[in-house]
Every structure is written in C-alpha cells, then in structure tokens.
C-alpha cells in the first residue's frame, strides 16, 4: 500500500514547475490527482506523467483567479475523483514588477487575484468537501519573497505575505474539523518561472548553486517532498505552520 493510495489531491498550477513536480511525487505515492491550470498542453502532459508514475490524474483548464472557474474545478474534481483529501494552492506568476510609482492599479489587482484570491477560493470551495469527509490538508505556496522585502516586487511580496496569515487564520478555524492548513516558502527553485527567458539553464543552475549554503539549485521535487509530508498523516499535529525550503538561503 502506497502512502497516498486512495487519497484525492487537487493541485493548482499543475502544468509546470513546482506543481508538476509535486503532482508526480503524489502520483508515485498512489494518489488520484486533479490538476488546474491555464496551460492546457502542459496540464495534459503532467497528467500523462502522473499516470506513468503510478497515479491517476485529470486536468481541468481553469483560471484560478476566477470565482466560477475555481468553483467548477473543485466541484468537478470532487465528483470525478470521489471527494477531496488534499488541496495544494500553488498556481502563480511574478505579477506586477517595478518601482511603486510605476505600478498600475490594474496590474496590482491582477497580481492579488492570481496569488491571493485564488487561494481563498480554493479553500472556500474545498473546505465543505473536507468537512464532509471528516478532515483534510491544505498547503499553499508562499515564497521567501513573502518573508523578506523584495524591491520592485512589491505586489508579489505583499501577496505571498498575505498567504502566511491566511494560512494561520484558516488553521485556527479549521483545526476542530480535522483540517490542517500549512504553507511553504520556497527559495530559488529551478522552474520556468525562476528561469524567465534565461536561455542557458545550465548557467542558471550553476549560478543558483552559489547562492545558498546547500550548494545546488532547488528542484520541484524538493518542494514536492515537503508538500507530501505536510499532507501526510505523519504531519497530523502540524497546522498553521510556515516551512521555508530554500537550501539555507535565509539561514
Ligand atoms: P511555473 O511558471 O513553472 O508554474 C506556475 C504555473 O501556474 C504555470 O503552469 C502557470 O500556467 C500557472 N498559472 C499562472 N497563473 C494562473 C492562473 N491565473 N490560473 C491557472 N494557472 C495559472 O512556476 P513555479 O516556479 O513552479 O511556481 C509555482 C509557485 O511557486 C508559484 O506560486 C510561485 O510564486 C511559487 N514560487 C516559486 C519559486 C521559484 O523559484 N520557482 C520561489 C518561490 C515561490
């Protein structure tokens, strides 16, 4: 019996990077997975990789910032997989970048919609299913950018910081329903988002390796392993916690 056999896991931002790496780790442990993303080709590819890794997976094209789309994703996933045990709120993008006086209100609001409203929506629609099931685990992806100031990334930093207290307040409310809520703060992880339009990934990886005490680039599966732990019964007494996974960068 694998660690997540029979468990159902919803993952946003599952078409790429950390979401994909985490989905594959859950699949290797026998989970049934529903992936949400705007990127259909990438989402279908991740679903295929999950099946190849031993899990079951479906992909549903979803804009996580849209209330109706998130409700449809959660309801459809719950009905097709048979309930919800784990929600991994992970979709993201760099958002509005620039000096404060140059940021537009529209870009500011869009960043909050994708990075914060989405997590609220994921919780809002999944929690009733978890209560019905007698418990569950929610993990959300913040960032070391939510723990420290991030010049020119004001919106991103403010959003990721907002997730810390959304995590804590939801954990306080939901503990009595056996629903645990935790948050991870990745450091620099080798994904398309971290790479931007970097054409030389080997050079990027070598550069990342010089920046923290553990001398290698972080990988999606490093994050996935922490998410699996937080979602597992071994973490049954951990809630409202923020875990930094950065190779010691902030140590
Ligand atoms: P990525 O770009 O590889 O994956 C992000 C995924 O989110 C993409 O597949 C994208 O299509 C999806 N997405 C973006 N907006 C969406 C929307 N409105 N609706 C549905 N899907 C949407 O990036 P990565 O690195 O895997 O990022 C995952 C999470 O990790 C993000 O929340 C990011 O902020 C966070 N993070 C990443 C770090 C890194 O170094 N890569 C460091 C700290 C945090």
Is the CB of 122 within 6 Å of ligand 1? no
Residue 237, domain extent: 8-245
Residue 38 Cβ inside 6 Å of ligand 1? The answer reads: yes
Task: Kindly state whether residue 92 falls inside one of the protein's structural domains.
Answer: yes
pLDDT of the residue at 197? 58
Q: Does the annotation mark 156 as catalytic? A: yes
Reduced 3-state DSSP string for 173-211: HHHHHCEEEEEEEECCECCHHHHCCCCCHHHHHHHHHCC
Lowest mean pLDDT among 8-22, 146-160, 182-196, 223-237: 182-196
Average pLDDT, the chain: 96
Total count of domains within the chain: 1
Query: 154-174 and 105-112 are packed helices; what angle lies between their axes, rounded to 10 degrees?
Result: 30
Asked whether residue 77 is assigned to any structural domain, the reply reads: yes
Domain membership of residue 250 (yes or no) is no
Least confident of 23-27, 201-205, 206-210, 223-227: 201-205
**Residue 251 lies inside a defined structural domain of this protein:** no
CATH of the domain at 203: 3.40.50.720
Q: Distance, CA 59 to ligand 1 centroid (Å)?
A: 16
Chain segment 96-108, per-residue pLDDT in tens: 999 999 999 999 9
Structure tokens at 52: 């190849």
Q: Say how many Å lie between the CA of residue 176 and the centre of ligand 1.
A: 31
Q: Hey, whose CA ends up nearest to atom 33 of ligand 1?
A: 92
pLDDT at 196 over 70: no
Determine the atom of ligand 1 nearest the C-alpha atom of 18: 26
**What digits encode the pLDDT tens for the residues 19-72?**
999 999 999 999 999 999 999 999 999 999 999 999 999 999 999 999 999 999
* Total-model pTM: 0.98
| 2 located within any domain | no
ipTM over 0.90: yes
* CA–CA gap between residue 95 and residue 221 (Å, rounded): 24
Residue 3 domain-assigned (yes or no): no
Q: From the candidates 13, 156, 239, 246, which is the catalytic residue?
A: 156
Task: Give yes or no for residue 63 CB within 6 A of ligand 1.
Answer: yes
62 is a domain residue: yes
Which numbered atom of ligand 1 lies nearest the CA of 113? 18
């Amino acid at each position: 019996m694998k660690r997540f056999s029979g468990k159902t896991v919803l993952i946003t931002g599952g078409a790429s990077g950390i979401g994909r790496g985490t989905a594959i780790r859950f699949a290797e442990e026998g989970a049934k997975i529903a992936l949400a993303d705007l990127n259909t080709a990438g989402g279908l590819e991740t679903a295929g990789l999950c099946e190849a890794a031993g899990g079951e997976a479906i992909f549903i094209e979803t804009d996580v910032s849209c209330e109706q789309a998130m409700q449809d994703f959660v309801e459809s996933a719950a009905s097709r997989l048979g309930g919800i045990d784990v929600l991994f709120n992970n979709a993201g993008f760099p958002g509005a970048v620039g000096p404060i006086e140059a940021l537009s209100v529209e870009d500011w609001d869009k960043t909050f919609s994708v990075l914060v409203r989405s997590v609220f929506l994921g919780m809002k629609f999944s929690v009733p299913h978890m209560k019905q099931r007698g418990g569950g685990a929610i993990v959300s992806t913040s960032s070391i950018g939510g723990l420290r100031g991030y010049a020119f990334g004001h919106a991103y930093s403010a959003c990721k910081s907002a997730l810390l207290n959304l995590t804590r307040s939801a954990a306080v409310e939901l503990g009595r329903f056996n629903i645990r809520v935790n948050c991870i703060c990745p450091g620099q992880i080798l994904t398309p988002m971290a790479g931007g339009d970097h054409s030389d990934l080997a050079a990027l990886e070598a550069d990342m390796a010089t920046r923290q005490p553990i001398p290698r680039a972080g990988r999606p599966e490093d994050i996935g392993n922490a998410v699996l732990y937080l979602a597992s019964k071994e973490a049954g007494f951990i809630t409202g916690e923020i875990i930094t996974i950065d190779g010691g960068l902030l140590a």
